[in-house]
Amino acid sequence: MVTSIDEIEQKHYTVMPIDRLYPELQRLYSTTSKGSSDRARVSVLLGTYFETRENATAAKLYEEAFRIGNRVNDRKILSDSILGQAKIAFLSGRLSDSLRLATNSERISFACGHAHCEASSKSLLRTISLSFGSMETGIDYLNRAIRLAELNGYLKLRAIIESDISVLLLMSGELDKAREHALSARNISESIGLESELLKVKLRLGSIALEQHDLTQVIDLIEQVRGVLPPENHSLWCVTHTLMGKVHEAKRRYDKAETEFRAALALADYVNAERVRSNVHTHLAELYLKTKKPEAALIEALAALSDAETAQDSYVRKEALRCVHDCYKALGQYKEAHEYLERYNALVVESDTALLKNRLEYHALKSEYEKEKVKSEEKTKQSDLLRIKLDYKERELTEKIRHLLRQAEAVRQFRDDLRSLVRRSPSDDPYVKDIRARLSSFTEEELNWQEFEKEFREVHPDFLRTLTAKYPDLTQMEQRIAAMLRMELKSFDIARLFCVTERAVEFHRLNLRKKLGLKRGQDLAKVLRDLK
């Protein structure tokens, strides 16, 4: 069964993980024409798929979508592609670029009513603000994002955001609120069959239960996850082993705890797992210190420090340095213990300084964004005023067309009456001869056009220029017929305006279809209305 890009987007927005949509996206990418809006929409979704798999491929797909969106002036595509570029920038460590792009995406998506992209932009801005050390701002972004997701029925996005909020609340020690949001994420994931997110949320609930010392619930949740967790999902298996290790440690089953931590280390073999390995090594070191094995603890603590430095994560580095200090202290090697304590304190100062700098940079960037937002709002006001003016002129033009139609009908009736009168009048009468000569030289095609064209150009200033630039071989009459069709006039009314037969108008419409290259079934009037 052939699936359209509209159907795929709807599934992605509401219930279905991008992995399950990948085969259809591949097919659509190979069948949609290059440079088309559909191609750009497919590129955005494929970019989402490749983000965490092939960063460079995702970047190319988002760039392709951006070029198309910019060319066709489609703000929905532009906001999606800019959001994709913001995510790539964040994954590459370019926080300032990521913040700039994400705020642009949020602004454009809000302006064009693209709620899914706006909510996703806010979710990314949460992640960025956390990197700048602004926890409160991060939670605020997520709360706004979740309201958007809820209002628009984006259940999948809402489940992910609820889960993200639970992480932040867990980090800040608000366990009851963290559990409330995690349960909401679990319920939504269950209702729409979002298996991957459901497994993550259950393990998150396990982490919360561990902090609340509810070990029975932790074990129950781990067993639920292990019963359905695919063997190849090493990252989540690693989490289950780490959690179970902490449970055994809390119950003083130290041998079993060690076994679980070792199993977690063995599975932490995926890309960018250094931070996870550092944490597990630290858990092992602390376990060995508890069981009076300082030599073994030191080996694990040094391994934790090595992985932390590879990961370039200041938080796990601090934990590892503190752990190395504790190990040397337990061994009675106070010189080394003091050295690592000094390194730990230096890193704390460095981290605090970096955090302050990041916060200052973040607020400076936010200030610049707010200024740009004010300018954008002013432009929007000007645009709205222009739109109101154009709407008014369009109503005037519509009334003008009605007047022209009435005028044309009156002229046609007068012309017919005059011809009837001439036929009944003496042929040798000089006045009759003069009227007959005038009727024969009457230029019907030019009737009323000059007045109409002037007002039409005021309401649609670019239409005729764009039309003739794209299709230079159109005749003057074909251009005029196209303008009338742009105003949604029927062939009968156009014929009355130009004082020609309806058949003549249909002939010009047929020529227009040929010259514009339209296929059977394409609506000529709609194509002309959408002309850019």
CB of 156 within 8 A of CB of 13? Answer: yes
SS3 state of residue 330: helix
Pair (343, 432) in one structural domain: no
Instruction: Decide if pLDDT at 370 tops 60.
Output: yes
Domain's final residue, options 114, 130, 153: 153
Cβ contacts of 334 within 8 Å, gap of 6 or more: 328
Pair (262, 388) in one structural domain: no
Pair (259, 336) in one structural domain: yes
The number of domains in the chain is 3
Instruction: Decide if pLDDT at 95 tops 80.
Output: no
Instruction: Decide if pLDDT at 239 tops 90.
Output: yes
Q: Which two tokens stand for residue 15?
A: 């219930």
Pair (127, 257) in one structural domain: no
Banded pLDDT at 368 (limits 50, 70, 90): low
Instruction: Decide if pLDDT at 366 tops 70.
Output: no
Does residue 445 lie within any of the structural domains?
A: yes
Cβ contacts of 256 within 8 Å, gap of 6 or more: 245, 248
In this structure, which long-range contacts are made by residues 180-187, counting pairs with CB atoms below 8 Å and at least 24 apart in sequence? 182/208, 184/159, 185/159, 185/160
* pLDDT tens column, 285-301: 999 999 999 999 999 99
Domain's final residue, options 105, 127, 153: 153
Banded pLDDT at 439 (limits 50, 70, 90): low
- Mean pLDDT, all residues of the chain: 83
Does residue 396 lie within any of the structural domains?
A: yes
Pair (9, 54) in one structural domain: yes
Instruction: Decide if pLDDT at 446 tops 50.
Output: no
Does residue 303 lie within any of the structural domains?
A: yes
| DSSP H or E run through 230 | none
Q: What is the mean pLDDT of residues 356-364?
A: 56
CB of 495 within 8 A of CB of 508? Answer: no
3-state DSSP of 147-179: HHHHHCCCHHHHHHHHHHHHHHHHHCCCHHHHH
SS3 state of residue 448: coil
* pLDDT tens column, 182-215: 999 999 989 888 888 899 999 999 999 999 999 9
Pair (508, 392) in one structural domain: yes
Span of 136-140, 309-313, 377-381 with lowest mean pLDDT = 377-381
Nearest to 168 by CA among 122, 135, 203, 206: 135
Of 9 and 224, the one with more pLDDT: 224
Pair (398, 500) in one structural domain: yes
Q: Which residue has the tokens 């798999």?
A: 53
Pair (324, 396) in one structural domain: no
**Which domain range does residue 115 map to?**
1-153
CB of 316 within 8 A of CB of 304? Answer: yes
Give CA–CA dist 87/105, Å, rounded.
Answer: 11
Q: What is the pLDDT of residue 2?
A: 45
Q: What is the pLDDT of residue 365?
A: 59
Q: What is the pLDDT of residue 204?
A: 93
Span of 79-88, 101-110, 343-352 with lowest mean pLDDT = 343-352
Span of 74-78, 259-263, 307-311, 403-407 with lowest mean pLDDT = 403-407
Does residue 205 lie within any of the structural domains?
A: no
Q: What is the pLDDT of residue 267?
A: 94
Pair (8, 127) in one structural domain: yes
* pLDDT tens column, 157-183: 888 888 888 887 887 788 999 999 999
Q: What is the pLDDT of residue 404?
A: 64
Q: Which residue has the tokens 């105003």?
A: 487
Domain's final residue, options 94, 129, 153: 153
Q: Which two tokens stand for residue 433?
A: 């001869």
Instruction: Decide if pLDDT at 122 tops 70.
Output: yes
Q: What is the mean pLDDT of residues 16-39?
A: 85
Banded pLDDT at 328 (limits 50, 70, 90): very high
Pair (329, 400) in one structural domain: no
* pLDDT tens column, 264-288: 999 998 767 888 999 999 999 999 9
Q: What is the mean pLDDT of residues 333-346?
A: 90
CB of 393 within 8 A of CB of 455? Answer: yes
Does residue 515 lie within any of the structural domains?
A: yes
332 DSSP assignment: T
Does residue 176 lie within any of the structural domains?
A: no
Banded pLDDT at 464 (limits 50, 70, 90): confident
Q: What is the pLDDT of residue 445?
A: 45
Does residue 77 lie within any of the structural domains?
A: yes
Span of 89-93, 103-107, 135-139, 296-300 with lowest mean pLDDT = 135-139
Q: Which two tokens stand for residue 502?
A: 């309806």
Pair (339, 466) in one structural domain: no
CATH of residue 320's domain is 1.25.40.10
Query: Of 10-14, 72-76, 528-532, where does the model show the most confidence?
Result: 72-76
Pair (48, 142) in one structural domain: yes
Instruction: Decide if pLDDT at 527 tops 70.
Output: yes
Does residue 85 lie within any of the structural domains?
A: yes
Question: Residue 485 phi/psi, 5° resolution?
Answer: -65, -35
Span of 3-7, 77-81, 374-378, 509-513 with lowest mean pLDDT = 374-378
The angle that helices 476-486 and 502-516 make with each other, rounded to 10 degrees, is 90
CB of 69 within 8 A of CB of 40? Answer: yes
Can you give the length of the chain in residues?
Answer: 532
